[in-house]
């Protein structure tokens, strides 16, 4: 975890430590919006059965796509920070500063 004073210092990045809670927050929001879309589709089936069915299917697909896309973005952010750490280790090993 990070300390409060890490917010005011630039020696350590806080993003790698807080990316996991943000990931789970986005996953929860994606699922909640998807479930909302499913219920909207079920309600729309009373007016138009085919349109409601398409809305239910697209809501379920958006949950899946949202989860996968969120994971890809989170991994990309972590990879960028890991590359930075490895480049810093190589720089320190070579004696540059």
For the stretch 15-24, pLDDT in tens is: 888 899 999 9
**62 within some domain:** yes
The whole-chain average pLDDT of the chain stands at: 89
**37 within some domain:** yes
**53 within some domain:** yes
Residues of the chain above pLDDT 70, percent = 88
> First-to-last CA distance in the chain?
27
**78 within some domain:** yes
**51 within some domain:** yes
CB 83 within 8 A of CB 43: no
**11 within some domain:** no
In this prediction, residue 41 carries a pLDDT of: 96
**2 within some domain:** no
Residues of the chain above pLDDT 90, percent = 66
**What is the reported pTM?**
0.76
**27 within some domain:** yes
* Torsional class of 2: left (φ above 0), alpha (ψ -120 to 50), beta (otherwise): beta
**Dihedral of the alpha carbons of 36, 25, 58, 64, in degrees to the nearest 10:** -140
The number of domains in the chain is: 1
């Amino acid at each position: 975890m990070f300390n409060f004073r890490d917010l005011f210092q630039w020696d350590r990045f806080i993003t790698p430590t807080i990316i996991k809670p943000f990931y789970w927050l986005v996953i929860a929001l994606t699922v909640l919006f998807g479930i909302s879309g499913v219920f909207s589709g079920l309600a729309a089936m009373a007016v138009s059965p085919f349109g409601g069915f398409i809305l239910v299917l697209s809501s379920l697909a958006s949950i899946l796509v949202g989860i996968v896309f969120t994971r890809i973005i989170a991994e990309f952010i972590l990879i960028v920070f890991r590359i930075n750490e490895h480049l810093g280790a190589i720089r320190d090993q070579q004696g540059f500063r």
